[in-house]
Structure 1
Amino acid sequence: MTKPQPDAGLPADAVVPTPLRRRWSLWVMGGLVLAYVVGLMVPDAGFNPFVDGFLAMISAWALVAVCWAAAYRAGRGRRTGPGRREGHGRPEVLLAAAAVTANTLGDTFELIQHGTDFATFPSAADAGYLLFYVLFLASLIVLVRRQLRGSTRSMILDSVVGSLGAASLLAVLLTPVLNAAAANPPSLGTAVSIAYPMLDLLLLASVAGIVASHGPESGRRWILLVSGLLIFAGADVVFALAPDLYVIGTPLDATWVIALALITLWVDRSGVPRSASGRSTGSVSAVAVPTVSILTGLGVLILASQVPVSGLAVVLASLTMAVATIPLIGRQRVLRVLSRTDDLTGLPNRRAFYADVPGRLGALDGGRHSALLLLDLDRFKEVNDSLGHDVGDRLLVQVGVRLAGSLRATDLLARLGGDEFAVLLADSGHDEAVFVAAKLRAALAEPFLLEGITLHSSASMGIAVHPDQGHDVTSLMRKADMAMYKAKSTRSGHHVYQSDDDSHGDVRLRTLQELRSAIGDDELELHYQPKVDLASGNVQGVEVLVRWNHPTRGLLLPEHFLELVEEAGLMHALTQIVLTKALDQAVLWRAQGELLTIAVNLSASSLVDRDLPDRIGAMIGSRGLPASVLTLEVTEEFLLNDRERARDILTRLRALGVRIAVDDFGTGYSSLAYLRDLPIDELKLDQSFVFPMIDDERAATLVSSAIALAHSLGLQMVAEGVENSVAYDELVRFGCDSAQGYLVSRPVPAEELNVWLADRKVTAIVRGGS
């Protein structure tokens, strides 16, 4: 039986579980340290051999043992397969273990010479203590160097600023010690006295540098290291400021052992292979440390002007401020660039465009033209509302890339804001501008893939030519803006400014404002056109058609305002109003015993909304209606342009019980494969096939074939635009399921339809009686 190897075959960056024996060693170490600290807190008459001798030494050497066990594991590496190991190279672990050992040797020698006549200063104990600083600083240098490898210049400068600022603050606190040591005559003792505070300065500076570098050390391991070093440095400062008050066995000894215990835990965890999670993405400390350090340096300089502080503190504070100002020169240049750059697309922004265009226009020789193109994406607001602003932002980025790739290097492209872009074509007149506009529209016509969804985008462009239609950027922009809205309203794609566009622009803006008010003031109303079952002659449902009851222009049909609704991004609001009113009317009809279905047209922009099925389901459920009462009519354009999205949306609607119909069937030019792939219930045969059916045998054959195709796929066929009895009878003969049109009834308000339904019932009774 093969002995299991739990770590064999692990990925190279896998976290190796903590061995049980290592956890026991940490518990033993923690227990000894705790016993020693508690013993120090118990008041006694003086030196306690058990606490200050035995417990102090056994706990200190337990720390050493744990450190060297970690160093052994780090040097031994990770097992990557039978008989193979991979070293992961952590020299800071070895250096830190040696540092803790040196400090413990110093403690041991000091304890040995305690109470003897051999106590001197400096002594071998000082050598151990100073060696601790040197070795641990070397460990930190290795750690910081690895953290800053590949870092940006700003991160490195932040680390330097943090180190200098922390050192300047500590230098102020140690001013009495530094001044006293400097006042003594040169000797070994003086050198050692100065070495302690200087090494503390370096230790604290290293800690601040590590925090500012915010490298891969993170989490509990990070807290252990920083906390241990800060406590150690703090204990040193207290000792340096009052050395005569210190004797072995005081609570101050507890701070050193606690600090070393935390450092040992860091060493222990650093000796374990860990997941290569990569560089930290930053933290609050990464920003706070340089900021606090700059304020500290400034504070030290201000303090030095009021009270005496050590010259070292002043030098360190001055260096902090000097290094902090290094990036300012570069940042000023960056700020100038950023103020002229769109932060999303990286293109010049409105400020840059308005600043650069005058110079380019002025550089043209007499007789030479340039053209300004103003471009606005069609129905972009629907993308933001339905898919989220993050998807909309990514679409704008891709649009910017495509536009830039279709222009010359001499042309100026800018994003003015939102979904609006501007282009200045150098040395281009009317014909060149029209050619470029068509080229840009073709580039944007290619599908965009965002969030797994294929989006089709289009743009409307207004063109103004310099100097014929304006001599400055303001007038050119105004006229290009009016031309752009003319292109939107006519769906021509692009339009070159003409003098009569001024009045059109005013009318459009006024109508847009009135339309927004109409939606808010409930000026939209619904008309209903009945659909008749051709087999029985019964009215089975109605199609819902929206009308705008304009206060001055009267009742407006959809063709007079729906395009403007799309342009203004109001289609979601309009759809919500139509569905609400239609479903409320269905509730009233059911209360009257009229079990009519309602069919509502949905635009392609409405069907981009991911939440639409959920909202419709909630609206139907809150009214206690069966989902089959609602039929949603969609266009072939939506089904063919984005098959995957259509399948998702329609499948979710069908799962609710809502019926799906294809409006204007037969007017598309693409494959009919969607009839097989998508969840559809009925087809609505466009009136362009029904009108000529009476006099055109080929048209009649197409209608008959379309009805047979629908039935063979299990679909119902509804004929639109039935205006005479001959067409009606032909459709009955072909087996068409339902029909609607002026022969049956025009679209009328609900009140008129109620009267019409009542009259129809009376007529049916009279005929039945006769």
Structure 2
Amino acid sequence: MLLPEEKERALRFKLALRMGLPIFLLFLIVSISFFSIEQETIPSYYFVIVISVFVVMIYYIFYLIYQGYEERITDPITHTFSREYLINYFKKKIDNGPYTILLISVHNLTDINSRYGVKKGDKVLYEVGQWIGAFLKEKEIERFPIGHYKGSDFLIGLEGTKERYQNMLDLMCLKFQNRTIDEIEINLTAAIVDTNYSQDLEQLTTRLFDLLDEKMLDRQAFEEEEIDPTELESSVIQAIQRQSFSLMYQTVYEKDTPSMLEASIKLINDEGKIIHQNKYMPVIDRLGLTRTYDEIILEKVVQACESVPHRLILALTLSPSSVRNNSFFERTLTLLNNNETARGRIMFVLSENEYYHHPKRYNELLQAYRRLGVFIAIDNLGAFKSTMALLKDLKVDVVRFDNQYGKHIKEREYQNIVKGLHIIAQGFGMRSWIRMVEDETEYKNVKSLGIDFIQGNYLGKIGSLEEVDKML
């Protein structure tokens, strides 16, 4: 038992004792008074009864206090339903017909807690919950369940399908755009799903958070074709077990010379259809198969080195958690020892969304990979969720700018940012890499900024090794 649990149990027992003692004393006084009037002496068995009554009384009060805590249905911060109660509520509703679940998230809550304090953050959550309730009541939606699911996230359950509420949800987010609480700006984001997607609550909530992530990446999440989650999960597991992958490559140029090939990986299901990364990666992460997947992909890319034209470097995107795993390092060592042609021709591309708090150990591992002949690149530099703090702690070979800079490189503002990021990279002894160069104008803009590696459809389409070889 943990110390907090021990302390809580002791506290509850003391509380039961304080509550039971006055009742016991009253019982004792009344009993003694009765015996003093009716009898000259108090029988000895009376004391056994008194002690037994006292023990039973304290146990019963103790039990009631515990049950009161266990059966709490509201969250103390937001005054909405607790997560446990809300989950049980939704499970019952899902079985009774079409049902829609909304996810409302205070996207900048972490920043609010950091800048204004946790108490302000708690007040923001409370006020947002109250505002959502008032808004829905204005829309004549009464007695709906709303609960604090986790962190900055609320879940709301509504009868019917999502088509009935999609416009209302868009209006809710629109009305909240200019709202502040105690002069604090609130960034509200939302997602919606219904039981037409799945009858499983876990899959519904997972889909909601996937949609929210896609929305923050400016993807048209609500227009995408829905895939049955159970079928998708089964297809992903089978594809990994069979190692059924499609590997395609795109050339990366250094100045005007081919320098690297970036691997693009997709899964293939039983019907031979392709499953794209934005669909299967959340499933792989959820099932805990990330390292297994990365090891399989690394093995295939290492094997492909023998067929790669002009001894180009092969770059592949891996999960940082896999690369930091000692077992993955040992697997990499074995693969490179068994295939000398791959040494000095593999690049790991790592995307970090937040600062890793053990940079010394991380850097030691990366340097061990580099001694094996593996190049290291940090991806998505300058993105919304990326962190530049790791650049001072990690010695890597290349930094790759977020895709938005390639897409908007014709705009002066983006050119200035890319120029600044390139100078920062040079200052750390790293080389720069940009993608999404689609036409001659963009290519000229990028070259004028001195970027080291350039990639995009203007320079070469994605294709198989044979197709890429013909284009070189």
TM-score by length of 2: 0.54
Name the amino acid aligned to 2:314: I
Matches of 1:414 and 1:660, distance apart in 2: 43
> Is 1:522 the equivalent of 2:262?
no
**What's the offset of the Cα at 1:577?**
1.1
SS at 1:152's partner residue? helix
**Does the Cα contact within 8 Å between 2:360 and 2:393 map onto a contact in 1?**
no
Q: Structure 1 residues 506 and 530, CA, compared in 2 at 3 Å: closer, same or farther?
A: closer
**1:623 aligned residue (305, 312, 335):** 335
SS at 1:623's partner residue? helix
Pick 1 or 2: higher relative contact order, CA cutoff 8 A, min separation 6: 2
Q: Structure 1 residues 742 and 415, CA, compared in 2 at 3 Å: closer, same or farther?
A: closer
Map of 2:430 onto structure 1: 715
Name the amino acid aligned to 2:53: A
TM-score by length of 1: 0.37
Alignment of 1:516-665 (within 5 A): 516-534=237-255, 537=257, 539-552=258-271, 554-559=273-278, 561=279, 565-566=281-282, 569-570=285-286, 573-574=289-290, 576-587=292-303, 589=305, 596-602=312-318, 606-607=319-320, 609=321, 612-625=324-337, 630-635=346-351, 638=353, 642-643=354-355, 645=357, 647=359, 650-658=362-370, 659-665=375-381
**What's the offset of the Cα at 1:462?**
3.9
Map of 1:337 onto structure 2: 68
**Does the Cα contact within 8 Å between 2:302 and 2:346 map onto a contact in 1?**
no
- Aligned-residue identity in percent: 11
Alignment of 1:426-575 (within 5 A): 430=168, 434=172, 461-462=191-192, 485=207, 488-489=210-211, 491-492=214-215, 507=228, 510-534=231-255, 537=257, 539-552=258-271, 554-559=273-278, 561=279, 565-566=281-282, 569-570=285-286, 573-574=289-290
Alignment of 1:84-483 (within 5 A): 152=14, 317-331=48-62, 333-334=64-65, 336-341=67-72, 348=82, 350-351=84-85, 374-375=102-103, 403-404=125-126, 406-408=128-130, 414=147, 422-423=155-156, 430=168, 434=172, 461-462=191-192
Matches of 1:682 and 1:400, distance apart in 2: 41
**What's the offset of the Cα at 1:571?**
8.0
Higher helix share: 1
Offset from partner CA, 1:445-487 (integer Å, 9 cap, x none):
x9xxxxxxxxxx99855499xxxx9xxxxxxx999x9799467
Identify unmatched segments of 5+ residues in structure 2: 1-9, 21-42, 93-98, 107-119, 134-144, 159-166, 217-221
Aligned residues: 378
Matches of 2:271 and 2:325, distance apart in 1: 37
Name the amino acid aligned to 2:211: S
Map of 2:452 onto structure 1: 737
SS at 1:407's partner residue? helix
SS at 1:747's partner residue? coil
Matches of 2:415 and 2:441, distance apart in 1: 12
Map of 1:747 onto structure 2: 462
Offset from partner CA, 1:652-672 (integer Å, 9 cap, x none):
443323444243555659997
**Does the Cα contact within 8 Å between 2:255 and 2:452 map onto a contact in 1?**
yes
**Does the Cα contact within 8 Å between 1:486 and 1:505 map onto a contact in 2?**
no
SS at 2:211's partner residue? helix
**Does the Cα contact within 8 Å between 1:373 and 1:463 map onto a contact in 2?**
yes
**Does the Cα contact within 8 Å between 1:528 and 1:748 map onto a contact in 2?**
yes
**Does the Cα contact within 8 Å between 1:647 and 1:678 map onto a contact in 2?**
yes
**What's the offset of the Cα at 1:717?**
2.4
SS at 2:72's partner residue? coil
**Does the Cα contact within 8 Å between 2:193 and 2:204 map onto a contact in 1?**
no
Which moved further from structure 2: 429-438 or 713-722? 429-438
SS at 2:264's partner residue? strand
Matches of 1:723 and 1:544, distance apart in 2: 19
**What's the offset of the Cα at 1:326?**
0.8
Q: Structure 1 residues 611 and 333, CA, compared in 2 at 3 Å: closer, same or farther?
A: farther
Higher strand share: 2
SS at 2:243's partner residue? coil
**Does the Cα contact within 8 Å between 2:381 and 2:399 map onto a contact in 1?**
yes
Identify unmatched segments of 5+ residues in structure 1: 1-147, 159-310, 359-370, 379-397, 447-456, 470-476, 494-499, 764-770
C-alpha RMSD of matched pairs (Å): 6.2
